């Protein structure tokens, strides 16, 4: 079988597939236009966040048998269309869960103690000791929107830190150690809200002006899930009005952003979609991708 790896992937992953007898080519900077020409010759394509596999591409790839997404979400792939064409679609939902959860927890600490502002003043050679009275996160309520693998890892860590965890997930009927609530209940109770759900037609702009109105004044929001779940215009208004005290964002409606207005607010901290960007997660993702492809080729 011929495998094309389109996005940066661990070298050990590539070598493991080759050792199993597969022909593996890499093209980490391939453009969408080039992919339309090149991919028809391959049986398997491995992608990460950068490369999108949409219907027009699938239509010109009669040999394609398997799409593997190294990561959690599948929103960059037309999954149902691919499967309807007989193409299997796989991902690695567990490999980066701990890394994303740790980023979300780290962001909570940063927001609670204004560490981003404090660090900036020190770099500017200012000693503003009395300007940074923060909050403890212990005893606060964390609302998790989405309770998949990452949500569970986040809940586990938050509970150990003494937070009360409430969860909204319409696809979950039972939870252990946390409280399952409606979305409105979560919005009204949470001191911190962290998103851990895929972007779908139903979840696009799930958090908009109406939802911000139902939140506690001074709530803090973390999004390490997908851009577009929060209405960024409504978030900007909530941040500038003081309804939302601060936000930490790892994902955006457009990546990279076209309008940087939101990110320039003093009460926003951000990162360029690095939730899974740890050495440990990348190693696990690579190993899982290789095993998926090898097992598929055997069967």
Q: What is the pLDDT of residue 112?
A: 97
**Burial status of residue 26 (CB atoms within 10 A of its CB: 0-12, 13-18, 19 or more):** middle
Give the helix/strand (H/E) hosting 159. helix 149-160
- State the sign of the Cα–Cα–Cα–Cα dihedral 251, 256, 261, 265: positive
One domain for residues 83 and 121: no
One domain for residues 289 and 238: no
CA-closest candidate to residue 171, choices 143, 141, 149, 189:
149
Q: Where does the pLDDT of residue 93 fall: very low under 50, low under 70, confident under 90, or very high at 90 and above?
A: confident
Q: What is the pLDDT of residue 103?
A: 98
Distance, in Å, from the CA atom of 262 to the CA atom of 283, rounded to the nearest integer, reads: 33
Q: What is the pLDDT of residue 102?
A: 98
Q: Quick one: DSSP state of residue 50? A: S
Q: What is the pLDDT of residue 75?
A: 86
Distance, in Å, from the CA atom of 198 to the CA atom of 255, rounded to the nearest integer, reads: 16
Q: Where does the pLDDT of residue 184 fall: very low under 50, low under 70, confident under 90, or very high at 90 and above?
A: very high
Mean pLDDT across 98-105: 98
**For residue 215, what is the domain's CATH number?**
3.40.50.720
Distance, in Å, from the CA atom of 178 to the CA atom of 168, rounded to the nearest integer, reads: 10
One domain for residues 79 and 64: yes
Domain of residue 166: give its range. 97-270
Write the DSSP string, 64-125: --EEEESSS--TTB-HHHHHHTT-EEEE-TTTTHHHHHHHHHHHHHHHHHTHHHHHHHHHTT
Is residue 100 within 8 A of residue 285, CB to CB? The reply is no
Mean pLDDT across 157-170: 98
One domain for residues 10 and 133: no
One domain for residues 149 and 9: no
Distance, in Å, from the CA atom of 211 to the CA atom of 152, rounded to the nearest integer, reads: 23
CA-closest candidate to residue 77, choices 98, 91, 94:
91
Q: What is the pLDDT of residue 49?
A: 85
Share of the chain above pLDDT 90, in %: 95
Q: What is the pLDDT of residue 73?
A: 80
pTM for this predicted structure: 0.90
One domain for residues 47 and 111: no
Catalogue the active-site residues.
226, 255, 273
> Torsions phi, psi of 284, nearest 5?
-65, -40
Tokens read off for 11: 């070298």
Q: Is the pLDDT of residue 192 over 90?
A: yes
Q: pLDDT tens-digit profile of 39-84?
A: 999 999 999 989 999 999 999 999 999 999 998 888 889 999 999 9
One domain for residues 168 and 286: no
């Amino acid at each position: 079988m011929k495998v094309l790896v389109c996005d940066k992937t661990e070298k050990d992953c590539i070598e493991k597939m080759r050792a199993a007898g597969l022909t593996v080519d890499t093209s980490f900077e391939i453009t969408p236009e080039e992919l339309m020409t090149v991919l028809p010759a391959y049986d398997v394509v491995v992608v990460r966040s950068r490369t999108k596999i949409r219907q027009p591409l699938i239509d010109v790839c009669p040999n394609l048998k398997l799409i593997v997404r190294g990561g959690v979400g599948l929103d960059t792939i037309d999954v149902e269309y691919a499967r309807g064409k007989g193409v299997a679609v796989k991902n690695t939902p567990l490999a980066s869960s701990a890394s994303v959860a740790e980023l979300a927890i780290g962001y909570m600490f940063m927001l609670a103690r204004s560490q981003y502002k404090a660090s900036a003043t020190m770099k500017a050679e200012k000693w503003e000791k009395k300007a940074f009275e923060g909050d403890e996160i212990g005893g606060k309520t964390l609302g998790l929107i989405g309770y998949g693998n990452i949500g569970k890892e986040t809940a586990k860590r938050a509970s150990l830190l003494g937070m009360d965890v409430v969860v909204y997930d319409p696809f979950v009927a039972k939870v252990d150690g946390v409280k399952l609530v409606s979305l409105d209940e979560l919005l009204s109770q949470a001191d911190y809200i962290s998103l851990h759900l895929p972007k779908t037609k139903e979840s696009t702009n799930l958090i908009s002006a109406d939802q911000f109105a139902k939140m506690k004044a001074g709530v803090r929001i973390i999004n390490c899930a997908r851009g577009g779940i929060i209405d960024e215009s409504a978030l900007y208004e909530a941040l500038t009005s003081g309804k939302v005290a601060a936000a930490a964002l790892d994902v955006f409606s457009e990546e990279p952003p076209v309008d940087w207005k939101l990110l320039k607010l003093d009460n926003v901290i951000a990162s360029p979609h690095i939730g899974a960007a740890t050495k440990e997660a990348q190693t696990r993702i690579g190993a899982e991708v290789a095993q998926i492809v090898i097992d598929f080729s055997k069967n």
